[in-house]
Structure formats: C-alpha cells, structure tokens
Amino acid sequence: MTPSLFSIILFTLLLLHVQPSYASIIPPYAPEEPETLDLPIPFYEPVLVPLNITDEAPPTTTAKAVIVLDANSATMLLEQNAATPFPPASTTKIMTALVALDRCKTDDIVTVSALDLNDENAQMGLVLGEHITVENLLYGLLLNSGNDAALNLAEHCGPGKETFIVAMNEKAKKLGLTATSFQNTTGLDATGHVMSVRDLAHLTAAALKNPLIEKIVGTIETTVRNREETRVHALKNRNQLLGRISGVIGGKTGLTEQAGECLVVAIERDGHRLIVVVFGSSDRFGDAESLIEWGFKNHRWEKENPTPSATTTLPELPEGTLENPHR
C-alpha cells in the first residue's frame, strides 16, 4: 500500500469517527397534541314564532290600515292595507330621532334658531337663542311631538334641513322600507310624504333597539332644561296607552287633517313583543287596545314555523274608499 493511499484511508476513518450522529441531535418526530381553547359552547336560542290557536275573528277597527307584527320573528299576525302608503303624521318623528342619533352626539349643544318657531304645532316651547342638548330635544320630539324640536335637530345635525331629509330617505332604504318617502322632519301633510303601516312597524322595531329611544318613548312625563338653567320645558307623553295597558313599552302618536289619527305602539308580555300600527283611525287608542288584546289572546309562541293561517289578512277596502295619500 502506497503512503498516499494509506493516508487517504486513515483520513477517511478519522472523519467517520468524529462525524456527529444526526439521529442523536434531531429527536424522533412526535405529533404535538392539538391546542385546546377553553371556550364556551355557543348556544343559540331558537326564535319563537306566533301561531294562531283560535278561530276568533280579529276586532273591527275604524282605521284605514292596520298591522300587528311580532317584532322578534318579523311575523305579521294581522294586516290590512299594510303595504299601502298613507300620510304618517308625527309618527315620522321616529325616523327623525334615529337620524339625529346617527349624525349627532346626545350631549351636543344646539342653539335654537328662528326656524318656524311660530308654528302652532311647535309643542316643546323652545325660545330663540336658548342652548339645549340633543338629548333634551329628543325628549321634546318624542313626548310632546314638538315640531320645533324636529326642525332644530335637523338644522344642527343635518347640518341643515335639506341634508337631514336626504339622510332620512337614505336610512329608509337601508332599513328596507319600500313604501316610504319623507319630505319633512315633522310629519306635517305634504305631497309625497308617506309611509305604510308595515314600514312603520319595522322602523319602530329597529328604533327600539336603541336604548335611549326606548327609554324616551317609555317616559310618561318629565322636565328638561336648557344649558343656562333659565328655562324649564315640561313634557308629557301623548301616548295614552302608556302606563294604562299591561306591557306597553312606548310608541308614537300622529294627527293631521289628511292622516287622521295615527299610532304605533310596542307591547311586551312574557318576552313576546308585538308592534301595533293604525293609520287613518278615528279612535286610535281604542283600536290599538283591541288589537293588542286580540294578538296576545289568540296566539301561542312556539319554535316551529308558523302555519299559513298564522297571519290574518283582512279584506282590502273597496275601490274609492281610500283617500288619496298623496293629496
């Protein structure tokens, strides 16, 4: 064996002796235990739907359009002319309140302007130049139905009446109100200022998800003051069912020459919330009360889907008996 070959063999043996064992460096593969998170198992309460359990006919009302809606399941228990647009009068102010809350903070200070303060329907009693919060204006808007409150909310939160009305109609589209068009913030009669009772029921259900609105419409009476503490505004809710009928949460009244008596009211009993709307009534509180009692007496809430008979549809009014809502 030549010295060079011997050197090569010796060098190779030395390398094999000192080369580390990779098996001793890399541990054998062992799958990791999956990471577990201590999370609660989600539980979804099934939506209960109302089932008509009797053959009792719904009450006769004086209204041109009515609806009884189960707010939790969006099921209609009763409808008559529910999709027909009518003048909504001051029930409009529910949308005014929602848009004001979209565009302003409740503690914003509004400087009362001269905007239609001489209107005979300006019921809050605002005085030119006084400073008052948006929240206090909302109380005047929804309790006393103050047009002066509506106009000053629009002027401040729009900013400006025109911008505010555009926002009201945009909000209506977002909420899926298909038979609604607003021309003002107050609900005074105007060509093209209309809503259907179905739209108003859905609007009210959405509005009552706002805790402040639910608190305000459930207030029977209160007083609010301006920032300077120089003027007190005594306010009283015009909803006569509040505090008199079991479970009434609140709502909104409306009355104009074209609209007649209008009312939307929300009622909750045993966790079930109904929304009743009457348009064009001559006895809005009596009509609403009879519809409320019929709704709860004749329906049971269950988990399965309601049968087709769960919704009672009254016949449409004969041709020519409806006043033109666009008049």
CA distance 245 to 60: 19
Task: Report which DSSP code applies to 15.
Answer: H
Cα dihedral across residues 196, 202, 208, 209: positive or negative: negative
Q: Does 90 participate in catalysis according to the annotation?
A: yes
Q: How far separated are the first and last CA of the chain, in Å rounded?
A: 122
For 118-147, give the DSSP string. Answer: T-TT--S---TT-EEEHHHHHHHHHTS--H
Of these residues, 7, 105, 113, 145, which one is catalytic? 145
- What is the CB-side half-sphere exposure of residue 43 using CA atoms within 13 A? 3
Write the CB contacts of 62 (distance below 8 Å, at least 6 apart in sequence): 281, 282, 283, 286, 287
Q: What distance in Å separates the CA atoms of residue 275 and residue 204, rounded to the nearest whole number?
A: 8
Is 24 in the active site? no
With contact defined as beta carbons under 8 Å apart, do 285 and 266 qualify?
no
Angle between helical axes of 161-174 and 147-157 (0-180°, round to 10): 90
Active-site pick, 4, 24, 73, 93: 93
Report the alpha-carbon distance of residue 77 to residue 305 in Å, rounded: 13
Tell how far CA 122 is from the center of its chain: 25
Contact assessment for residue 241 and residue 277, using Cβ atoms and an 8 Å cutoff = no
Indicate if 290 belongs to the active site: no
Question: How many other β-carbons are positioned within 10 Å of the β-carbon of residue 46?
Answer: 8
Report the distance separating Cα 249 and Cα 316, nearest Å: 30
3-class secondary-structure state, position 179 = coil
Catalytic residue among 64, 90, 171, 281: 90
Do 279 and 64 touch, CB atoms closer than 8 A? yes
What residues act catalytically?
90, 93, 145
